[in-house]
Amino acid sequence: MATGDDKSEEKLWGGRFTGATDPIMEKFNASIGFDKRMWKEDITGSLAYIKAIERLGLVTAAECLSISDGLRAIYKEWESNSFVIKPFDEDIHTANERRLKELIGDAAGKLHTGRSRNDQVTVDMRLWLREAIKNIRSYLISFIQVSLSRAKRDIDVLMPGYTHLQQAQPIRWSHWVLCHATSLLRDLQRLDQTANRADELTLGSGALAGNAFGVDRQMLAKELRFSRVSSNSLDATMDRDFVIDFLYWASVTMLHLSRWAEDLIIYSSKEFGFATLADAYSTGSSLMPQKKNADSLELIRGKAGSVCGRLTGFMMSYKGLPSTYNKDLQEDKIAMFETYDSMSELLQIATGVLSTLTVHKSRCQGALTSDMLATDLAYYLVRKGIPFREAHSLSGLCVAAAEAKSVKLCDLPLVDLQAISQDFGPDVMLVWNYENSVEQYTSVGGTAKSAVLHQIDAMEKVLKE
């Protein structure tokens, strides 16, 4: 066994080196500060691996039992927060193996037979990410479900729809809610695709050339619940596409959440007043007592930059690496862990914001103006048989006439409308109804009540599937 004075022997790679490592280099090289999060996955992978090499006769049944019992004891130490990290535990693999040797003696050294930290770390990361995605997925589904619930509850609220942040046409508030839920449903599908691409066993690839003892990788895959086995050992030890996939998923999802947050920041301002955030998701000003700030939404919007930055940052670390493992890949775990922490936190915050939001129906509908029905005026003429391009032009002339008289479009006298087109009749007054306006958009994806309910039903079916 290693002695306390022989530091080189405490390292998995210490035999070739004779000089002491610079203490600053020790700290710079170590990853135990963050990869200790994978303690459970590291032990799980080792428990499967010791079974596999026992089948090959590389350890005896007694040694396999001793190693397995030792690993389970270490598991309990981590679980109870009693595991002690020592100065020369440079990563989670070293720490667990060092502790195993303390518990059972030299037999611990057989656990690493045919295995490298290069394939060990990739299987740990894939195991960790698999569980992380399950958690993230549940948070994302909760947000979508709350969106559907709010869409049902507020379905009779009408509001202005916007393009270029200019009032455009009347829509339902629920239609706006479902707009963002639809993009998040794509994010859910993209997350499932990410999980599928990460579902590959890399253990058994060794440092780069494979396993020299013929370990049964299919058995390992079954034991660790991976659906398939990596096909090339060189690729397996260098592949971090699954991390990039996760970071990309998070970045796209954050773009969607940031836009959702931006809309709500605007809609909850005094100028708009369409909605009010619950106090639980707002903060005040240290100077102005009247202020109620949408800090929860601003933080979500701000996190988009950080999450996207981790993707681009890691891609730049990854882009020029020579084949197989390089220590640059230590950056992968930092990006993966930090992104998971951000996404799991802010998805829960976003769900809380939406579920407790107060929608002000009168303010939403009070913001509607008759000039938003200019397109409906054109549609009125289209239904009279006038080509749309001509109808569009005639409606524009009506808008100009109303502006010239400083009256609302709906208050333009019939005689003035007929001066522009004889196709305007008394029934044109039916155009000036916001409910009628939204109800004409009955096609799939429209803002009519039936179309919105169809969207909700379709999304609920997707979630159930």
Domains and CATH numbers, the chain: 7-113 (1.10.275.10), 118-366 (1.20.200.10), 370-464 (1.10.40.30)
> 3-state DSSP helix/strand/coil percent for the chain, to nearest 5?
65, 5, 30
In whole angstroms, give the CA distance from residue 87 to residue 96: 13
Distance CA 126, CA 434 (A): 53
Q: What is the pLDDT of residue 286?
A: 63
What is the tens place of the pLDDT at every residue in 66-77? 999 999 999 999
DSSP string, 3-72: -TT-GGGGSTTGGG--SPPPHHHHHHH--HHHHGGGHHHHHHHHHHHHHHHHHTTSS-HHHHHHHHHHHH
The pair phi, psi for residue 81, each rounded to 5°, is 60, 30
Residue 9 has what pLDDT?
47
What pLDDT shows up at residue 2?
37
Taking only the tens place, the pLDDT of each residue in 316-333 is 999 999 999 999 999 999
- Decide if pLDDT at 1 tops 60: no
Q: What does DSSP say about strands 166-172 and 158-163: parallel, antiparallel, or unpaired? A: antiparallel
Digit-coded pLDDT (tens) for 12-50: 545 555 556 678 877 887 889 999 999 999 999 999 999
Structure confidence at residue 285 as a pLDDT band (50, 70, 90): low
Q: Is the pLDDT of residue 5 over 70?
A: no
Predicted confidence at residue 19, as pLDDT, reads: 58
* pLDDT for position 15: 57
**Mean pLDDT score, 106-111:** 96
State how far the Cα of 246 lies from the Cα of 284, in Å rounded to an integer: 35
Per residue in 164-210, pLDDT (tens digit) is 999 999 999 999 999 999 999 999 999 999 999 999 999 999 999 99
Token pair 């951000």: residue:
342
| Torsion sign across C-alpha atoms 22, 23, 24, 26 | positive
Whether pLDDT at 269 is above 90: yes
Structure tokens at 148: 């559907």
| Mean pLDDT along residues 270-279 | 95
Q: Are 303 and 342 in contact (CB under 8 A)?
A: yes
Known catalytic residues are: 164, 285
Task: Give the integer Cα–Cα distance in Å for 329 and 238.
Answer: 8
pLDDT at 14 (0 to 100):
54
Bridge partner residues of 170 (DSSP): 160
For the beta carbon of residue 188, count every other beta carbon within 10 angstroms.
19
Average pLDDT, the chain: 93
pLDDT of residue 11: 56
* Residue 39: per-residue pLDDT: 98
Which residues have CB under 8 Å from 33's CB, separation 6+? Answer: none
pLDDT average, residue stretch 383-406:
95
